Copies of this chain bind each other. A is one copy, B any other.
Amino acid sequence: MATMTRARRAPDTPAEDGRDGLFLRNHWYVAAWRDEVGRKPLARVVLGDYLVLFRTEDGRAVALENRCPHRNLPLSEGRLIGDTLECGYHGMVFDCRGACTHLPGAPQPPAWARVKAYPVIERRGWVMVWMGDPARADESAAPDYNVRLDDPAWFSLKGYINVRCGYRLILDNLLDLSHLAYVHGSTTGNRALAEQATITAEVEESRVRVTRWMSDIPPAKAFVDYAGYGGTIDRWQVSEYTTPSYIYVNSGTAPAGRGVSPAERRDSQGLWGFVVYHALTPETARSTHQFWAVALEQRMVPEAGRPDFEKQMLNIPLEDVAIYEAQQRAIDLDPEAPDGDVRPRGMIAADKGLFAMRKILQRLHAAENRKPA
């Protein structure tokens, strides 16, 4: 149906915090996987900003505003000359700090000819950009994710999806893993997972950790197939949100009764399990770049079973995308939904972490947008 338009939104909706999609700027965001950034300029919209990414000759990733200050052509339409980027329209050349180093036909470029340069770091496969005040860019604030990406004892699957929904809907998804029972029932979920969990939510300044512990439940299909479980199991799922928009998931199992201690649940996979890393980078208020990686110890899936396993794993994010995008359609048809975000009519136990995550976002957003006195 091509008609999912907002039919009755009042025209005088006041400007609210968050009408921009509740974007936080003074943070690191993943802009690309390392292999997406090379000597061919890459255009990408992050928090509504138009960026161009490329690598210098010695391999350093660079992110500039993707809009020539002269006639506004995206610089990604141009070409690299050494470590500089030449505009594809009238040939202005910009260096990695965004300064114009050459204006064709002129002895020197004018001072106004510069584009914004975004601080960039690379961490274990992710090219991350700082979207706020460059003076405040702090490498230590970037999460250390994908820690198993280059570990030979592990193998990884990874992906990028451009999702047509606001980023908070994806964070919600990952902070309530009971959805595996309904969205991923043919692989990693079963009903017991949703019905028999003990859920705890730990909230810190800029972090929310939701732990689901399921005792003595039947194993979901993937756990039978790959771990060879016959009887019931203990299962644990930890979803850890880190500002602004990262999720770490640890998923482990053990034969019923053997389990792992609460202290170990964040990092142990027990007899069979995996870890997942997600970076959810807002593109616009209603679209998100989802960067994900799942990592398993080599022993979890024998080489012979890998092709089948990979096929299953690669399908799981697509099952989620169908959910997020359907949610966004229902939200966009809701004249009372604020700001393109979900409008829950109440809260259940499983939502504690989701609400805490939104509170953190709102607090930080208000702080960033506070008018100086």
Residues of chain A having any CB pair with chain B under 8 Å: 1-8, 10-13, 15, 19-21, 43-45, 47-50, 66-67, 69-74, 77-78, 86-91, 103-106, 110, 112-113, 162, 164, 169, 172, 176, 178-179, 181-183, 191, 194-197, 199, 283-287, 322-323, 326-327, 329-331, 333-335, 337, 342-346, 348-351
Least CB distance, A87 to chain B, in whole angstroms? 7
Tell me which residues across on chain B come within 8 A of A45, comparing CB atoms: 1, 3-4, 7, 333
CA A90 to CA B181, docked complex, whole Å: 8
Name 20 A/B residue pairs within 8 A (Cβ), A-sorted. Answer: A2-B287, A3-B162, A3-B283, A7-B47, A8-B20, A11-B19, A48-B335, A50-B330, A50-B333, A70-B346, A71-B169, A72-B343, A74-B327, A77-B323, A86-B182, A88-B323, A89-B179, A104-B195, A110-B348, A113-B346
- A113 and B345 within 8 A (CB): yes
- A70 and B344 within 8 A (CB): yes
The 6 nearest A-B residue pairs measured at CB: A7-B48, A112-B346, A104-B194, A69-B345, A7-B284, A3-B287
- A105 and B195 within 8 A (CB): yes
- A87 and B344 within 8 A (CB): no
Tell me which residues across on chain B come within 8 A of A71, comparing CB atoms: 169, 172, 327, 342, 344
- Cross-chain contact of A162 among B1, B343, B344 (Cβ < 8 A): B1
Residue ID in chain B nearest A88 by CB atoms: B182
- B330 and A72 within 8 A (CB): yes
- B15 and A196 within 8 A (CB): no
- B333 and A48 within 8 A (CB): yes
- Cross-chain contact of A106 among B182, B183, B349 (Cβ < 8 A): B349
Tell me which residues across on chain B come within 8 A of A50, comparing CB atoms: 330, 333-334
- Cross-chain contact of A67 among B12, B89, B113, B330 (Cβ < 8 A): B330
Least CB distance, A335 to chain B, in whole angstroms? 8
Tell whether A334 pairs with B88 under 8 Å between CB atoms, given A73-B326, A345-B113. no
CA A28 to CA B223, docked complex, whole Å: 51
CA A183 to CA B5, docked complex, whole Å: 30
- A349 and B72 within 8 A (CB): no
Least CB distance, A118 to chain B, in whole angstroms? 15
- Cross-chain contact of A345 among B7, B112, B164, B287 (Cβ < 8 A): B112
Tell me which residues across on chain B come within 8 A of A183, comparing CB atoms: 88-89
- Cross-chain contact of A350 among B1, B3, B90, B169 (Cβ < 8 A): B90
